[in-house]
Amino acid sequence: MTKHEAKPAARALDPEAVEAFRAEMRGEVLDSASEAYDETRVIWNAMIDRRPTLIARCVNAADVSASVRFARAQGLTIAMRSGGHNVAGYAVCEGGLMIDMSLMDGVRVSPALDRAWVEGGATWAAVDRATTPFGRATPGGLISATGVAGLTLSGGIGWLRGTHGLACDNLVAADLIDAEGRLIHASETENADLLWALRGGGGNFGVVVNFEFRLHAIAPEVFFCAPIYAEERAAEILPLWRDFMTTAPDELSGLAEFSTIPADPAYPEEIWGRRVVALAHVYDGPAEEGERVTAPLRAFGPMLTDFSGAMPYATIQTLYDGIFPKGRDRCYWKSTYLRGLDDQVIADILGHLSRRPSEMTFASVWKFGGAVQRVAPDATAFGDRSMPFMFSLDAIWQGADGDEANIGWVRSAWSAMQAHSTGRMYLNFPGLGEGDTLVRDAFGAATYARLQQVKRRYDPHNVFRMNQNIVPVG
């Protein structure tokens, strides 16, 4: 529970129905007395402390179908959990049934067909481990522990976006269990409306049990560019970065990332506690070419340190994992797409960052372009792709006494930044999902209306509503 939530009255379940459900499941059904219950209900954001009545640990599509049918028959809220990284905490419900997909993490690869088939509860670590030994990759995010499902279904922004687009742009087909417990296949030729909706429309249409992704060749080592500059020089560095990125090749994807260096032996001790801006990028091509292309980013005056180097893509995918451990910190993350990054926008960003209450906080300016913008806006439910930059405010702190200051800071900075926004936001960084029109505004009226029609077809009673919710028409 967060302090904003009221606890619903616990409802008694029919013991015979529960027994029959347990007997039908091949995976385990946990209740609050089960040893694994607490460990399984914990998700990434420590602010979220909810207690499902039951947790179904599914191991196959039949388990997922049984879970959906059981929850509906018993009138239970359904939450779906894959990587558990959703910062708004949609993966776990108070009362209700949590469908835990995390045991379904198999990945099958065909380098010959350039395809990977990924089970619905896998993390990006499982995908990268299975594809990169064959010189292949598909765009994920920046952290290997993030779930494929949540990230892909609402877009998926990672290091390969300039060359290959968003994660959802590489989704070729999917199998899901719908609100009636049926197994439905979605591809360009079968239920194409559903595939369109799954490419950005979130976990609204059912529980995905299998994703099929397009794979791309990746060099054995690529170049990770990560010079770290002092934040007090950001007013000088950000315009240089913006101008450089405007003409940079599609192979280069990255972001300008603000943070405070922790007291951690992984960093030089003399910079512990310093506020910094890291220009973090990956060049999707031969490492030596990447080093040459990114050289100007490492020559914007004195650096505090530099984490750049040639390394395998799968290694880069794990570099940040240790910074973001599960269940330790309280978090409130919110994003907005920027129309541009002129000097006034930069000044406003830096003004807000100077007032951040927590030194654990991250904030980033993500560059877009390349393959993301070559996909037609109506080709996927991700909708608008016109934004050249995204600003994300990732407040992180410890202790409930910091909630008000940190959430208040993000909300106030976010509201002020609306003056520079396209009016859209990235739904994987949605605050706590609050705001009556948040989802509608993020998609825009036309895409939202089309999503409502698809929702009506596959989930007319809004059974799947622990998500960035699309309300079905009618």
Ligand X SMILES: Cc1cc2nc3c(=O)[nH]c(=O)nc-3n(C[C@H](O)[C@H](O)[C@H](O)COP(=O)(O)OP(=O)(O)OC[C@H]3O[C@@H](n4cnc5c(N)ncnc54)[C@H](O)[C@@H]3O)c2cc1C
> What are the E-state strand segments in 101-251?
107-110, 115-119, 136-137, 171-177, 183-186, 207-214, 216-217, 222-225, 227-230
Binding mask 194-213 for ligand X (x = CB under 6 A): --------xx---xx-----
Shortest Cβ distance from residue 232 to ligand X (Å)?
27
Cβ atoms of 311 and 219 closer than 8 Å: no
Q: Report if residue 297 touches ligand X, rule: CB under 6 A.
A: no
Q: Counting contacts by CB under 6 A, is residue 146 touching ligand X?
A: yes
Q: Give the integer Cα–Cα distance in Å for 451 and 446.
A: 9
151 part of the interface to ligand X, by CB under 6 A: yes
- Residue 261 or 390 with smaller CB distance to ligand X: 390
Work out whether 256 is an interface residue with ligand X (CB under 6 A): no
Q: Is 425 in the site for ligand X (CB under 6 A)?
A: no
Interaction of residue 85 with ligand X, rule CB under 6 A: yes
- DSSP code at position 389: E
Does position 101 interact with ligand X (CB under 6 A)? The reply is yes
Which residue in 71, 98, 125, 149 binds ligand X (CB under 6 A)? 149
CA–CA distance, 293 with 295 (Å, rounded to integer): 6
The 377-396 contact track toward ligand X, x by CB under 6 A, reads --------------------
Using CB under 6 A as the binding rule, whether residue 81 contacts ligand X is answered as yes
Helix (H), strand (E) counts: the chain: 15, 20
Q: In whole angstroms, give the CA distance from residue 45 to residue 47.
A: 5
Least distance (Å) between residue 427 CB and ligand X? 9
Supply the DSSP string of 161-204, one letter for each residue: HHHH--GGGGEEEEEEE-TTS-EEEESSSSSHHHHHHHTTS-S-
Q: Of 147-155, 219-227, 347-355, 441-449, which part binds ligand X (CB under 6 A)? A: 147-155
Using the contact rule CB under 6 A, the part of the chain among 79-87, 126-134, 182-190, 346-354 near ligand X is 79-87
Q: Which of 66, 71, 97, 153 binds ligand X (CB under 6 A)?
A: 153
Residue 240: exposed, middle, or buried by beta-carbon count in 10 A (0-12, 13-18, 19+)? Answer: middle
Sign of the torsion angle spanned by Cα atoms 295, 360, 144, 215: negative
Per CB under 6 A, the list member of 150, 290, 383, 472 interacting with ligand X is 150
Answer yes or no: are the C-beta atoms of 396 and 360 closer than 8 Å: yes
Q: Which chain residues interact with ligand X by CB under 6 A?
A: 43-44, 80-87, 90-91, 101, 120, 141-143, 146-147, 149-151, 153, 155-158, 202-203, 207-208, 324, 428, 466-467
